[in-house]
Every structure is written in structure tokens, then in C-alpha cells.
Structure 1
């Protein structure tokens, strides 16, 4: 993608999540962020970055009753007219311009991929910044290409239609109860075919045979992602086989689905849900939102504690867990999907410590290994590593 832009005469800049905006934690006071310096017109981002931008805006707005009312009025109007594909020049001038400055003032398109983007965040970013937010889908094994939304697509929750020359089909996954005969739309494991599919995994014949198939001269890759195909050809990612576990009660739960809902909690900057198949409940490891955690500390008369001390405080943890349960209930999660216990983590999850990938995806096994002692304590002495 970088070479495509460069070969067409466009400048390409690189940013870090620690220095992205003027208020990023990796910058000294008064130093401008990457977006303010580069002033891009097209931006790529993973959902976690957009989630953090939304959380930062909402934290600022919630400090003032007037700001909340002002925001609610203009945001609802922007959302209404944008749904019908209509421009809102007056709202853009009064409302959106204030937000656009945080991204450099010139961003027109954000391309998002690497993980599911919640419909709420999609709607929020698109309307606050008055831009096109396009979700795409693809994997390294398919040369990073499969689907992308069109510029005039005003829907949310979808990853668009297949790109030219790329074939997509769904196959039954009996264990997860996803079938191509499901109503109202077919559901199943996403299989991608075409010249974009790679030859296999380097020096891993076993995994290559499991994931790659060839039919009638077409090479296919079994993604492990579960999708739903809609009548207009748009694809929606609804689950992932590797993120589904079976609890001791016999119920299957999706870790990624739970995480997506829990991220709506203002106390959560990032979360990893863990489940032991020999137990009947799940637990969660949480990177807290520092500003919201501080607000909770002030309410509980614990403002003198450091961030690490707050994360280890039982009252603070109980307050966050209570908020999580309220969000889970509102999101209609089942009882077995709601974490029974949580741990607030004071350390950052970064590619440098191998707890997330360079695209900020969770490395579940690494997180499990890192917090093994905590897992043992949270599940009790019966836990089997």
C-alpha cells in the first residue's frame, strides 16, 4: 500500500500510538503530535486507536453539562442527515471543525482493518470528523486483500463487498452452529479464493494442508473467521473460531464478542477475556482508562494513590467490575459471558513486550503466560495451567 501511494506521487508519513495526537502520553508538554505535524488526507487505523480517540473526546465532553448538551444536539443532526447521504456544511463548520483539528485538519478518509470495529465507534468517528470511514477485511495469507466498503456506503458493522478478482464463499461450521442455510442470511466460515491467496506457510506443511485447499484450479484459504453474507453482497464478520471456547457448563462463548461489548465501559482502554474450559465462568484482564480511574479514585477518597496502587486496590477493582456488569447487562450478554473476576493491569500492552501485535491485536497466549499467577489466583487452587 505504501509503495502504491509513493508511486502515484503521494507523501507517506508514519505515526506511533504513543505520539499520535497532541495529547498522547509519549509526548512532552507543548510538543505536537504526529497527526498535527503530518496533516494527512488519508489515514489508516486499527479499531483500538479509534476507540481511544472516541474515549478521549467523550471524557472531555463529560466534564461540562453545556458541552454534553451541545454535542448531543449537533451529533444527532449530523447522524440523521449523513444517514441519507446529505452534506451538512453548517454543522461541519460549527461542530466538526473542532474535532478535525485533532487529526491535522485535512483527513477525508480513514481506512480501518485488523480487527472488528464496533458500529457505535464507526458512527461516532464518521460523524464527529465529517469523513469517510471505510472498513476492510483481509489477511496476510490473502495478500491483505478481500473486501472493502465503497465510498458511498453509509452502513456500519460491515466490511464491504469482495474486491475485483477475489472470490468469497461460506462453509458450514457445525460445532459453532453456523450454517450456509441459516435464515435470514447464510452464515459460516469465510473462505477466500483467487490469485491473491499465498502458497502456504513457510516450512509448515501440516498447517498449510489444514488451511489451504485447491478446487478446480482455484486456490482457497480457510480464514477461521465466521461471516454473514447479506443480499447486497456485503460481508459482516460475526465471530472467530479461535476465539470461541467451551466452558464446563457445555456452553460456547466468543471471547472477541465479549471484549467488543466490554470496551463500551468508560473504565476500559483495552481488555482480554480469558476462559478455562474446566470452569464455568470467564475472567478479564483490563488496561484501565487512566482519567476515568482517577475520577473513581476521587469519589472513593483515594486520590493520593499512584496508578499502580489504584490498579491493585480492591475497592477500585470492585467499582470497575460493577460498571462492567451494568454495561454487560445493557449489552444483553448472557450470565456466563460476564466476567466473574477482573484484574486491572498497570503495565502497558505493547508490541515491544509481545502482549499485542504491531497492529495492536491481542496475543492471547502471551497474555495468558504473562498473567499465569493471577489466573491461578482468580480461579482458585483448582486451576490447571
Structure 2
């Protein structure tokens, strides 16, 4: 068994030159090579008949682990991790679920229960407790904002929400809809908050109280069916209200099964420890954790402050870690900033990377080489020193950073592509294929095809098009929203992702564009450029504006054509000479326009990640003549992006 400390090369379990099968027919449907029945149009939905729901997979973990450690936490940043066993977690979860029934909730998949908390053991006790009675988990999270949280509580008719602390309780009370009757606080809540809730007709219980109540009542469990909804996962939509993605137990278990099947001997196992820090409100983290519990592994929760993640990693020493590009970008930037001050360190790093990269090309992943001891040991210890598997998702990762991290961390790194609507995974890179620049073949729970997007000149016959997914992991639909469901899932059951993909010659997928003008920043936040432009165009100084962002960057920038009359009269009043071209290069003019834009952005309620961090002033308007506007005077976004590519690159260089 090839592990990260050994020097046995990791060989791809399938032919790396042909990583997916293509079904017969004109649509060029690609399926997984890891599941024989995929060729017959079948999808994996479980690994064994007695583990078809998240209720059953957790119980599998109890047996697999022989009641080993399950959930870990720390009291503070100086204390070691403490552990709860599987049986203890199971008992407490059942008691909590029974307590919810005692508070008046009805068992069954039409009862939705909210949770508004950072990752912590109680999150899992809550989740498994809810499954004990076939109820549905509805996560709330900070970036939704209070209005969206209120919308969700109202739409899903949620009467009970588990809330982490006093601050989050108050945030819910600010906009609490009438149907919210009870809050269950994990941490202590101030008496003033208790009174405030009481005045609104809302009762507050503690998590412990509900557990004790449930233990005393001991209601018999109501086990869920695979077809029952297990979670209603709201995506913080780019426009309008958030959409509630309905996922069944089968959806989630099939997603987990597809990944476990593909990972083979590298999958989570007894003795593994995973660090939990990516939000449990999102499906990437939920799927990773459920996969670990299923196989009898343990999960340790970070202490809640992302700035102290290294402290947690050193204390926990995890073997498994889901990650996002933003974290790996930071590691990369930090290392290069450190070596920049010393030419000796620069040379050492380059030699170390060259040596490790040539090993990786031969399939050797390890932490035991001389270069690991001299150059990379500090980085590896910063992650706890025991990492063997990392799964990266949620936004694209640059090839340079991926290869650097594979070399520096000395562990297997698989990159995936997915969506909430597909329970997280759609594709995953295959262990042993160390060529970056793609997101791997389809996982065994779904098939993928590309469809034409003629308005963007993408054609499936040329291996480009909108990525469409069909399989056992594709969601049931958007909650109480048949119109948006029909827009997304066609009559043949294909989910249209809105992402543009390109098949690589080896049968892997590369994500190259977005169908709508929406993009995701490196931290996973969605951006709608038109919405931001509509705010900035209100500025008296702005004639035209083009907002741009990239999925490898954490912020947005803009090209601005100033209003010539307004800028000229401001310049005269301030005795600043020059043509518009000259004024566009004046830092005072730039500062004036940018400050006003930011002020308008605030007035429009733009979030900080939506506000531009830099602008480039351009004297000539976008027009039909210069090819930057359509005949209906809409911005031709791809053309504007290409036209200003040097300036956009330059702004990002200075921001990096």
C-alpha cells in the first residue's frame, strides 16, 4: 500500500491517457472508469446495501472503528485535543434528536430544523440527531446576511434553530419571522438576550437541556429512507433570494461513495484524523466528514479562528485535510515572500522544488527526502507533519501552486470540481496523475456531457460547452421553486451547471468559463459584475465601468471611463491642467473617482469582497466602433476583458 512516507510510486489505477469512458451516441457522454456498470448508463449510489443513508453510514463507522475516537475539540489554544468516541457521539445524537421531538417537532422528512453555528462537535451531534428521526438539516451561515436567514426560516417553515452563541442569537432575533418559536444555544446566552427573545415570544434552551430532555423521554427512532431529503442547502444566490437545494440521503451517500471508490487504498480509514475548518454549511465539508465517519476515522474541529489554524494543525496533527485554493495560495505567497530576502534561500528552494517535482513525475510522494529535511520540514510541520491526503475544491487552483504544494507538503493532493446541486463532487483528479491543469474525470455517481453555447462560440463538437451532469448525486430540485428547478434540470434529467468546460485529450475535464456573467473569487464568493457596475455608474464621475474578477484572485478590479465634463470642471476648480488622457494618469483624479465609487457601493449595500480594490482610468469610451459595445449598447465582456488584459494583469500584480 503506497503511503506518503514510503518511496513506492503511486501509479494511476486506470490508464492516465484515457481517464473516462465515452458512451456511444452523438452526445459524447463521459462516465467513470472506476465503476464497470457506468458503461451501461448506471451510477453508483452506495458501496453496500446496508449503508444507503447518512444514518446508516455513521453506524458503519462505529463498527469499523471499534468505538474509536470520533469527534475532537480543544478548550483553548493552549490545551490538547479531547475526544468523544463513536458510541458516545451516537448516544448524545439520539438523545438530542429525541429532545427535539420532546420540544414538539414531528419526526419525518417534512420537518426542517435550522443550525447557525461554526464547525464544532455539536454540529455533528445535531446532524445525526436530526437523522435519527428522519428530519432535515438546514444550515444558516454568516455570508447569507440577516435578510436571507430570515427568508430561509420563513420559506422552510423552521420553528427551531440551533444557534452557536449570544451574537448569532441576537442576529436572528433582529429579523426573526413569526414562525420561529425556539432557539437552542450551544454556548451561554446573556440574560438580556433571553429577555429579548422572550419579548418576541421565542424560548431559548441550552443544548444540554435538550439532550437531557431527550434522554428522559427516549422516543423510538424513525429511520430515514434513502429517498428522503436529508438537507436543504441554501446557496447564497448571486441575485434575488437564496435557492434551497434539496438533497436526499441517496444524493449525499452516492457522492461520498463515488469519491471513496475512486480513492481506493488512499481513502479515509481507521486511525485517520481530519481537520474540520471549511464551513459545514457547505456540501464539500459535509461530504468529506461523512466519508471519514463512514470509514471509522476521526474529525478534529478547529478552534474557530482561521488566523489560528496553524496552531490547531500543530496540535491535531491531521492525516486528512479538505482545503480551498485560497489557503494554498497563502502558503505559496508566504514562502516566496520569505525566500525573497535571501538569494541563498531562493537557490535552495528552486533546487528542492526541481528535485521533488522530478520525483512527483515518477509518482513518488514522500516527506523523507533530504530536501524535505532541509527546505520543506517547516511547512510540513505547519500542517501538523502527518498529512497524507488533501482534497481541494470550491474554486480553481493554479497549476503552479498545485505543483508547489504537492512538492512542499509531500502528500497526495486531489483536485475536484463540483456544485451544491450535485452534492459537491462532479469530477476528481486521479491519484498518480500529477499533470496539473484539469479537474479530473467524472466520479462514478454521475455522467457529464457538454452542450453548445452558440452565443459564446462554444460547441460540443469542438470539445467545448456548458457542463451538464446527470446521476445519483444530482439534487431533487429547488425548494418551493419549480420555475428555477425547470430552468436548471432539463426533461431528460440533465443538470445545467452554467460552467463552461473543455474535454482534454486524456478524458479529463477543464473548467474554462462561466455561461452567465458570474464568477467565483478564490475564497468561494460569487460575484455578479453587472450588479456592482449598476452601483458605480451612479457616481457623477463615471461615464462607463467594467468590473472584472478572476477565480484565482480574492478581489475585483475595474476599468473606468470618466465623465469628461465633470472631471474637466473638477480639474479646473483645483487648478490641475491637462487633457483627459493626462488626467486619467493623475493619482488624485484616480483617488477622487475610486472613493466616490466605493461610497456609492456602500449605499447600494455591496459587501466588502464586491467592492473594487483598484481601478484603471481610460479616456476613450467603449463603443460599437471599437468593438466593445453591442448594437444594443451592452458591454461585450469577453472583448473588453481581452482589450484591457495588460491593465487588468497589471492591477492584480500590484495587489498580489
Q: TM-score, with normalisation over the residues of structure 1?
A: 0.62
Equivalences for 1:88-167 in 2 at 5 Å? 89-167=369-447
The equivalent position to 2:556 in structure 1, one of 264, 272, 278, is 272
Q: Pairwise mapping of residues 248-267 of structure 1 onto structure 2 (< 5 A)?
A: 255-256=548-549, 258=550, 260=552, 263=553
In the aligned structure 1, how far is the partner of 2:615 from the partner of 2:345? 45
Match of 2:479 in 1: 202
Q: Which blocks of at least 5 consecutive residues in structure 2 are unaligned?
A: 1-286, 519-528, 534-545, 563-586, 622-656
1:9 matched to 2:296? The reply is: yes
In the TM superposition, what is the alpha-carbon distance from 1:371 to its structure 2 partner?
Answer: 4.0
Tell me: CA distance 1:53–1:342, structure 2 relative to 1, closer, same or farther (3 Å). Answer: farther
Task: Quickly say closer, same or farther: Cα 1:48–1:161, change in 2 above 3 A.
Answer: same
CA distance in 2, matches of 1:167, 1:342: 46
Higher normalized contact order (CA 8 Å, seq sep 6+, divided by chain length): 2
Shift of 1:214: 2.8
What is the CA RMSD across the aligned residues, in angstroms?
3.9
The 3-state SS of whatever aligns with 2:390 is: strand
The alpha-carbon deviation at position 21 of structure 1 amounts to 4.0
Give the corresponding residue for 2:237: none
The residue aligned with 1:240 is: 514
Note the alpha carbon deviations across 1:112-169, whole angstroms, 9 max, x for none.
0001111111111111111111111111111112111111111112111111131100
**Alignment-derived partner of residue 66 in structure 1:** 344
Task: Sort the Cα spacing of 1:145 and 1:377 in 2 relative to 1 into closer, same or farther, 3 A.
Answer: closer
Q: 1:86 and 1:14 mapped to 2: Cα distance?
A: 30
Aligned pairs for 1:18-37 within 5 A:
18-22=306-310, 33-37=311-315
Gaps of 5+ in 1: 23-32, 248-252, 264-269, 281-313, 319-340, 347-354, 356-364
Cα distance change of structure 1 residues 170 and 20 upon mapping to structure 2, 3 Å threshold = farther
What residue is the counterpart of 2:499 in the other structure? 225
Instruction: Show CA shifts across 1:318-340 (max 9, x none).
Output: 9xxxxxxxxxxxxxxxxxxxxxx
TM-score (norm 2): 0.38
Distance 1:149 1:20, change over 3 A: farther
C-alpha distance 85-211 of structure 1, shift in aligned 2 (>3 A): same
Structure 1 equivalent of residue 332 of structure 2: 54
Q: Is the 8 A contact 1:259 1:272 kept in 2?
A: no
Corresponding residue SS for 1:135? strand
Tell me by how many angstroms 1:378 deviates. Answer: 7.4
2:449 aligned partner: 169
- Who wins on radius of gyration, i.e. which is larger? 2
Aligned residue for 1:13, secondary structure, equals strand
CA contact (8 A) 2:469 2:494 kept: yes
1:262-321 per-position Cα deviation (integer Å, ceiling 9, x unaligned): x4xxxxxx3224578xx69xxxxxxxxxxxxxxxxxxxxxxxxxxxxxxxxx69x99xxx
Local SS of the residue matching 2:430: coil
For 1:317-332, list aligned pairs within 5 A: none
User: Does the 8 A contact of 2:464 with 2:503 survive in 1?
Assistant: yes
Change (3 A) 1:94 1:48: same
Distance 1:4 1:226 in 2: 29
Change (3 A) 1:369 1:272: closer
